[in-house]
Amino acid sequence: MDEVRKKELTEMAKKLRIDILEMLCEAGSGHSGGSLSMADVFSYLYFSGILNVDPKNPDKKDRDRVVLSKGHACPVWYAALAEKGYFDKSHLKKLRKYGSILQGHPDMRKTPGVDMTTGSLGQGLSCAVGMAIGAKLDNLGCKIFAIVGDGECNEGQIWEAAMAAAHYKLDNLIAIVDKNGLQIDGFTKDVMNTEPLAEKWRAFGWEVIEIDGHNFDQIDSAIGRAIETKGKPVCIIAHTTKGKGVYFMENVCDWHGKAPSKEEKEKALASLCGEGAE
């Protein structure tokens, strides 16, 4: 990836993180850690040109689909959709408010650009499998991207969906696992150890690629390889840092489902802008 493009994506990821902090602080609730960890992946998906989507025609039949199976991390998705032009950024200030188009989990009936309602962990990948089968039957030629949490991989339904995807040779399905090592109750290795995670996905019949989920060269290479893979679905295991970019949130379990106060938001914004830790 050339340096100009990389710089643009880095700046967009920073914007997404700022949007996340602003909206969560305004809402007074929500999920900080796992939203911040996925900002680089969402910056790449929506602003590299890799996705076949059109904010002016969000329902076009042959569009690529994104399913956020770890639906609680929707602030990063809402930020990306707003920056992409699916809706006005003023809506971000109404996160989790009564009547808002941006609820605490993605709702396809309310939010432009959201193709699947998610939130009950484990179900999103199954929905993505169904979309991928439907796209094959209709010869649409589109890709389905499913964003899965590493803690979510505790769910048996993930593995049922994984088995089905391999059985039906869904090479139009790309799962991206946000492997940040933390979930609501603690470190994933302590709550329910899923290691060796890559070997499990391979055993279920998937092509597996492991990357640094904050490195745009590696993200670009992995998704390029995934798109070219034929005959099987692809799982990209993205090693990330929960709370990425905010020094006092990084790798801290408490920030899984916590919003920053106004004072914490200002410290977080200073951290993102490179003003350092206090």
Confidence of residue 229 (pLDDT cuts 50, 70, 90): very high
- Cα 209 to Cα 162, 175, 238, 239: the distances in Å are 15, 10, 8, 11
The confidence score (pLDDT) of residue 273 equals 84
Output the six-digit token pair for 255. 């920030």
Any domain includes 148: yes
Alpha carbon 8 to its chain's center: 19
| pLDDT (average), residues 56-79 | 97
The total domain count for the chain is: 1
d(CA 262, CA 25): 6
Per residue in 8-29, pLDDT tens? Answer: 999 999 999 999 999 999 999 9
**Do the beta carbons of residue 68 and residue 120 sit within 8 Å?**
no
pLDDT in tens, 161-220: 999 999 999 999 999 999 999 999 999 999 999 999 999 999 999 999 999 999 999 999
Q: What average pLDDT does range 50-76 have in this prediction?
A: 97
The reply to whether 125 falls in a domain is: yes
Residue 200 inside a domain? The answer is yes
Answer yes or no: is 210 within a domain. yes
* pLDDT score of 222 more than 90: yes
pLDDT, one tens digit per residue, over 149-164 is: 999 999 999 999 999 9
pLDDT in tens, 93-117: 999 999 999 999 999 999 999 999 9
CA distance 111 to 13: 21
Amino acid 30: pLDDT: 97
Mean predicted confidence (pLDDT) in 225-234: 98
Q: Tell me which residue range forms the domain holding 145.
A: 3-272
pLDDT(45) > 90: yes
Residue 14 falls inside a structural domain: yes
pLDDT in tens, 117-159: 999 999 999 999 999 999 999 999 999 999 999 999 999 999 9
Q: How confident is the model at residue 278 (pLDDT cuts 50, 70, 90)?
A: very low
Q: What is the CATH number of the domain that holds 124?
A: 3.40.50.970
**Domain assignment present for 277:** no
